[in-house]
Amino acid sequence: MGILRGTISLRSRIPLGKDGKWVGTESDPPELHPLLSVPAARVRLPRMGRIDDAVRNLEGIEDGTERALQLAGLISTLFKIKGVVLIVTDQLAFHSYADTVAENPEVELAAFAGALTPRVILEIMRGQLHAGGSLHHWSVAGIPVHFQNETVIAHRDLCRDFTTDHGVVKLVPVEEIAADWILAAVHPEPDADAQARARLLLVNGLNEAFDMNWKVLYSLCHRPEYRVGEELAQMRLEAKREVDAAGTEKDHIGATSVLPTITRPDENAPPPTPAATEEIAGPVVGLSETSVEEAADK
């Protein structure tokens, strides 16, 4: 399972196919893709047959985490038609960012926009998907589906959109997931599993598997309800060492932590040779204010 499967540009948030091309229909130009900004009445399922055919296709996916993500796309599309935008929370969101496989995958959803009423849930889950369950707890294609009454998202603008074969899935911000796991790793006592989960997110962020907003993560970890700013710094340093040891490119923020040493020239030393003069007069690589600001934005 690849991180976010490479099927969406997180910077542009435009749904793309595996070949990097737009996945809309011929009648809908890219700027009017029905899953992005047009009225809910125009949203429709991709050209793949009936809903029961889609469920049968899901049952054939062996990778449980992949099946759960594809199911989230199908459910999100059906609710989008009803004017409700769903967001994937908790376990599936974590595994999508961490690029890991869940032992017991499940789909946990909450309303991002619109009213998630019992009637709408029943119409879609029981009426259209023929799912087993009742109201907030269901099972589709062997995957448990849970609807949450509400979820708190501090930075709604950082939610990532991911395009599946059956529609767009919205994920909670990775920065908020990371802050939660960093806190769980140390409070009220150290926890190895939470530590490993936090490390995976930081490593993938440093590897630019997704665009981690480090400023937001720092801000979250320094909030009174978290108070894990020092722990973030330590975990990030360890994650950076792991990234560097793997031979991947060093991140820009980490590179600014070591400043060049300036040595005063010896006044009694002989004058430099012409070749050395040219070398000294060449461009000097250093840290300007602009480079520091750009690094901080990473």
SS (H, E, C) 40-81: HHHCCCCCCCCHHHHHHHHHCCCCHHHHHHHHHHHHHHHHHH
Token pair, residue 187, equals 């409070």
Nearest CA among 3, 50, 19, 55 for reference residue 211: 3
What is the Cα–Cα distance from 144 to 248, expressed in whole angstroms?
37
At 291, which amino acid appears? S
By CB atoms closer than 10 A (0-12, 13-18, 19+), residue 51 is: middle
Cα 140 to chain centroid, rounded: 24
* 165 close to 12: Cβ distance less than 8 angstroms: no
- Spatial distance between the Cα atoms of 287 and 289, rounded to a whole number of angstroms: 7
Task: State both tokens at 27.
Answer: 């009648």
Residue 249 has what pLDDT? 52
- pLDDT at residue 80 tops 70: yes
The pLDDT tens digits of the residues spanning 26-38 come to 444 333 333 333 3
The winner for highest mean pLDDT among 176-190, 239-253, 282-296 is 176-190
Taking the whole predicted model, whether its pTM rises above 0.85 is answered as no
* Structure confidence at residue 273 as a pLDDT band (50, 70, 90): low
Q: Give exposure, 201-240, as e/b (b: 16+ Cβ within 10 Å).
A: bbbbbbbebbebbbebbbbbbeeeebebeebbeebbeebb
Q: What is the pLDDT of residues 10-19, one digit of tens each?
A: 333 333 333 4
